[in-house]
Structure 1
Amino acid sequence: MLAMPEINYIKHLRENEDLSLSEIARKTGKDWRTVKKYADGDVPTGKIGYRKSGMMVEDGYGEIIDDWLEEDLKVKKKERRTNKVLFEQLQKEHGFPGSYRTVCEYIQHQRPQVKELKAKRYERLEHPPGEAQVDFGNMTIVQNGAYKDIKALILSFPYSNAAFAYPLPAENSECFLESLTRLFHQAGGVPTHLRIDNLTAAVVSIGKRGKRIYTDAFLGFQSHYRFEIQACNPASGHEKGNVEKKVGYTRNNFFVTAPSMEDFEQLAEWLYKQMQKDQKRLHYDKEILIEELWKEDKKCLKVLPSQDLPIFSVSTHKVNKYGEIIVDEEAYVVHKARMKQSLLIKKEWDIFTCFTNDGEILYQESRPYMNKSRVIPWEDILDDWIRKPRSVTYSRHFKHLPTNVQLYLARQKETLQERIIGLKKLLATHTMTEIGEVLSFTNRMDLSPHEVGIILSEKAAYPVKMPEIYTPQVLVNYETDLRLYDQKLFPQAGRSVPIK
Structure 2
Amino acid sequence: MSDINCIKFLRNNKGLSISKIQETLGINWRTAKKYADEDQLPKSNLKQKDGMMYTEKWGEIVSDWLVEDRKLKKKSRRTKKQIFIDLKELGFKGSYRTLCYFVSDWENTHNEDEFDKGYDRLEHPPSEAQVDFGIMEAVKDGEFVDIHALVMSFPYSNAAFAVPLPSENQECLLHGLKELFKQSGGVPRKIRIDNLTPAVKKTRSKLEEAQLTDTFIQFQNHYGFEVQVCNPRSGHEKGNVENKVGYVRYNFFSTSPIMNSFEELTETLRVQLTKDRERLHYEKEELIENLWIKETKYLLDLPSQDYPVFKDTDVKVNKYNETKLDNSVIHIPRAANYPVIHLILTWDRYKAVSTDGEILSEDYRPYMNKSRAIPWTTVLKDWIRKPRVVPYSRYNKYLPGRVKDYLLVD
| Structure 2 counterpart SS, 1:204 | coil
Question: Which residue does 1:447 correspond to in 2?
Answer: none
| Alpha-carbon offset, residue 159 of structure 1 | 0.6
The answer as to whether partners of 2:313 and 2:342 remain within 8 angstroms in 1 is yes
Q: Deviations over 1:86-111 (max 9, x none)?
A: xxxxxxxxxxxxxxxxxxxxxxxx9x
Structure 2 partner of 1:148 = 145
Structure 1 residues 340, 355: CA separation in 2 closer, same or farther (over 3 Å shift)? Answer: closer
- AA matched with 1:392: V
Instruction: Work out whether residues 344 and 357 of structure 1, in 8 Å CA contact, stay in contact via their aligned partners in 2.
Output: yes
Q: 2:164 aligns with which of 163, 167, 173?
A: 167
Report the residue type matching 1:300 in the other structure. Y
Distance 1:160 1:63 in 2: 51
Larger RCO (CA within 8 A; separation ≥ 6): 2
Show CA shifts across 1:345-375 (max 9, x none).
Answer: 0010001001123322111111010001110
Q: TM-score, normalised by structure 1?
A: 0.61
Unpaired runs of at least 5, structure 1: 15-20, 33-56, 70-109, 111-117, 413-500
Change (3 A) 1:30 1:294: farther
* Conserved? CA contact 2:320–2:336, under 8 Å: no
Give the counterpart letter for 2:361 in structure 1: Y
1:194 to 181, 191, 195: 191
CA RMSD of aligned residues (A): 3.0
Q: Name the counterpart of 1:395.
A: 393
Q: 1:58-79: per-residue Cα shift (whole Å, max 9, x none)?
A: 535256468999xxxxxxxxxx
The whole-number CA distance in structure 1 between the counterparts of 2:145 and 2:226 is 34
Partner residue of 1:59 out of 68, 77, 95: 95
Distance in 2 separating the partners of 1:270 and 1:211? 39
Instruction: Write the letter of the residue equivalent to 2:304.
Output: S
Matches within 5 A, 1:447-462: none
2: CA distance, partners of 1:287 / 1:149: 36
1:216 alignment partner, one of 214, 217, 236 = 214
Residue 138 of structure 1 corresponds to which residue in structure 2? 135
Gaps of 5+ in 2: 1-58, 81-92, 109-114
Instruction: Give the alignment of 1:474-493 within 5 angstroms.
Output: none
What is the match of residue 242 of structure 1?
A: 240
Contact 1:148 / 1:373 at 8 angstroms: preserved in 2?
yes
What is the one-letter code of the residue matched to 1:123?
Answer: D
Secondary structure of the 2:335 match is coil
Secondary structure of the residue aligned to 1:258 is coil
CA distance in 2, matches of 1:60, 1:295: 63
> CA offset at residue 213 of structure 1?
2.4
Choose between structure 1 and 2: higher helix proportion: 1
Give 1:382's aligned residue. 380
1:121/1:354 Cα in 2 relative to 1: closer, same or farther (>3 Å)?
same
Aligned residue number for residue 127 of structure 1? 124
Aligned partner of 2:299 in structure 1 is 301
Deviation at 1:6, TM superposition (A): 7.5
Instruction: Provide, for residues 116-175 of structure 1, a one-character-per-residue CA deviation record: whole Å limited to 9, x for no partner.
Output: xx9941111111000000000000001111111110000000111110000000010000
1:301 Cα shift? 0.7
Instruction: Give the Cα separation in 1 of the matches to 2:161 and 2:150.
Output: 8
Alignment of 1:362-381 (within 5 A): 362-381=360-379
Inter-partner Cα distance in structure 2 for 1:67 and 1:339: 71
Deviations 1:173-195 (A, max 9, x none): 00010011000000011011100
Distance 2:318 2:118 in 1: 57
Quickly say closer, same or farther: Cα 1:400–1:122, change in 2 above 3 A: same
1:294, distance to aligned residue in structure 2 (A): 0.8
Q: Answer yes or no: is the 8 Å Cα contact 2:134–2:148 preserved in 1.
A: yes
Shift, 1:333, TM fit: 2.4
For normalisation by structure 2, the TM-score amounts to: 0.74
Counterpart-to-counterpart distance in 2, 1:338 and 1:60: 71
Partner of 1:176: 173
Partner of 2:311 in structure 1? 313
